[in-house]
Chains A and B, each alone.
Chain A
Amino acid sequence: MTAAAITTQARPRRRYGSMSRDRRWALRWSYFFLTVFAIFFLMPPVYMLITSLKTSAEISSATNPWWVYHPTLGNYIELLSSSQYLTFFRNSALVSVIVVTITMLISVPAAFALARMRFWGSTALATGVFLTYLIPETLLFIPLFKMFALVNEYTGIELINRWWVLLLLYPTLTVPFCTWIMIGYFASIPKELDEAALMDGANYRQILTRVFIPVALPGLIAATIFAFTVSWAQFLYPLAFTTSADQLVLPVGIVTSLIKGDVFNWGQIMTGALLGAAPPLIIYAFLMDYYIAGLTAGATKG
């Protein structure tokens, strides 16, 4: 009798214990696999950092490539004092900041009009904007190249091999997506809000700047981050449209100028690439939640 009581008492406790043990093991396995994946995902940037701290002699020696024996900042000093690299950086920064501004000036009013002011063809236009986002740049660079060459022929304005031609090209990548996610954010604002503003005698410009932009600020930040990241990272357009060293932006500059013939100065290439990856990474580190919101909004909203 007592034995039976003990077993009936013990059984549920044991089962409970095994469940928590299962849970603990599941957790351990989760952490284990997450660590494995994190190593895989972080290995290239970490290796960039490792290589950037080495001298050329150490890079070409037969020592362990995963360890720095004589750390030095020589590569950083050399790159940051080279006027060529600073030109790339300046071009990249100028292009990205201006493109972000252009993108916001075009896409925010357009998104407002498409989300709130129904007019003839507005739904079709919204769908069209989304379709434009799906057209990759690899489909357009050849006809655009020819078009710009023709513009030069007819008007004499030289567009090829000028860094500011990128200001025309990058918005084709950023504007459709930014408009699309801003439509989503604006559409989620309750109608009562702009009706109240209309009752108070606000015009459309005031509704946009006083009500919509402040309320949809998270979306605006997400769109800005997206536009900046895309323009900073774009590789195909500058590679096709710019060639002289003083017109290049960072990604193309590193690939074409630091690789001289067959000589790869890996220490400097890795340093340049790491510094080039820094601005998006820093923005991401500080605004991660907005970044992720923008990323998921593109496909989940609509």
Chain B
Amino acid sequence: MVDATLEALAIAGGSRRRSALRKAMQRKSTIAFLMTLPLILLVVLLVLYPAFYSIHLATLNKSMERFVGVGNFLFLFKRETFWMVVQQSCIFAITAVIFKALFGFIVAHFVHNIPSRGQRKWRGMLLVPWVIPPAMSCLAWLWLFDPSYSAFNWVLDKISIGPVAWTGDAYWARFSVILVNVWIGAPFFMIMYLAALKSVPEQLYEAAAIDGANWWQRMWYVTLPMMRNIMAITALFSLIVTFANFDIVRILTAGGPIDRTHVFATWAFWIGIQGNDIPLGASVSLFMVPILTVAAVFILRDIHRRASEMS
């Protein structure tokens, strides 16, 4: 006690206190900086640098000796496969995200509907596709889609529907890729929507019921507005993940038949790593940036808005 008062007296002198304070501040920010240094190094060296390096790579020729400017991009624009890849990537991502959101929404409602002691069990079961490593579950799907031993075709055969070339025919292959995408991603939506549903205050539904709202009105005027934020951000996250996805297409179809299911990631891998044309591969993957940026901007805006609402 005496020590403390003595200390307080000692640092009472104006300038001395300020410099001591400044030193403490300096020390604190130094410690903080050192604590974040590994993170900063990791992000700068292994994320930011490669991201900009890939722009540099995209301007070189195949042997990486000569600067060709936008030559690689112009070359890509002239190739039919490139436009197919653009189209397929967008179709896969948009369709898959819509169906994931739809399935997730429906399943979340059913889970929310049943007595709460049973919910845990169902939720646990329905999240399994999200937990299994995608490479492993895609192998199972590949086997289910097998041209000669497809277990689906066996069932279809029993109800006399001809065999479906799940991965052999261009349209069925696209359907299969979207189906597997939805299978893996829908549980994530389900969990997010379930969390959102649980956060809607019960009083709002009671008030709506007293006002005579029917099921649709309760859904449209209470549930959806309360969930809008979570729905939007989940969809944006999923859009990024689905758009940049590699595993599913790579294992199910490897881009085939005749490039009809290639997306940016798999085509970039095919050209850059397997075809050994690193600059062209880098150019292909750079085409993912615009759509990713748009999604990222919307996500950030939402996060900033929520942060400012809270403070």
> Is the C-beta of A64 less than 8 angstroms from some C-beta in chain B?
yes
Tell me whether A131 and B300 are in contact (CB under 8 A). Answer: yes
Chain A 228-272: CB-based contact to B (< 8 A → 1; otherwise 0): 010011011001100000000001101100000000101001100
Complex CA gap A119/B29 in Å reads 5
Tell me whether A145 and B46 are in contact (CB under 8 A). Answer: no
A residues within 8 A CB of B250?
A: 235-236, 239
Q: Which of the candidate stretches A7-15, A27-35, A72-80, A215-223 sits at the interface with the other chain?
A: A27-35
Tell me whether A140 and B54 are in contact (CB under 8 A). Answer: yes
Give the residue name and chain of the B residue nearest to A107 (CB): B39
> Is the C-beta of B59 less than 8 angstroms from some C-beta in chain A?
no
Tally of contact residues, A, Cβ under 8 A: 95
> Is the C-beta of A147 less than 8 angstroms from some C-beta in chain B?
yes
Complex CA gap A140/B273 in Å reads 12
Complex CA gap A236/B246 in Å reads 7
Chain B 279-307: CB-based contact to A (< 8 A → 1; otherwise 0): 00110011011001001100110010011
> Chain B contact residues: over half helix, strand or loop, or mixed?
helix
Complex CA gap A280/B128 in Å reads 10
Tally of contact residues, B, Cβ under 8 A: 96
> Is the C-beta of B47 less than 8 angstroms from some C-beta in chain A?
yes
Complex CA gap A140/B288 in Å reads 11
Q: Given A45, A127, A129, A298, which contacts B39 in the complex, CB threshold below 8 Å?
A: A129
Shortest CB distance A233–B (Å): 3
Q: Which of the candidate stretches A81-89, A172-180, A189-197 sits at the interface with the other chain?
A: A172-180
B residues within 8 A CB of A137?
A: 244, 246
> Which residues in chain B, 246-272, are within 8 Å of chain A measured between CB atoms?
246-247, 250-251, 264-265, 268-269, 272
**Using a CB–CB distance below 8 Å, which chain B residues touch chain A?**
28-29, 31-33, 35-36, 38-40, 42-43, 46-51, 53-54, 57, 64, 103, 106-107, 110-111, 113-114, 120, 122-137, 139-141, 143-144, 146, 149, 151, 154-155, 183, 186-188, 191-192, 195, 230, 233-234, 237, 240-241, 244-247, 250-251, 264-265, 268-269, 272-273, 278, 281-282, 285-286, 288-289, 292, 295-296, 299-300, 303, 306-307
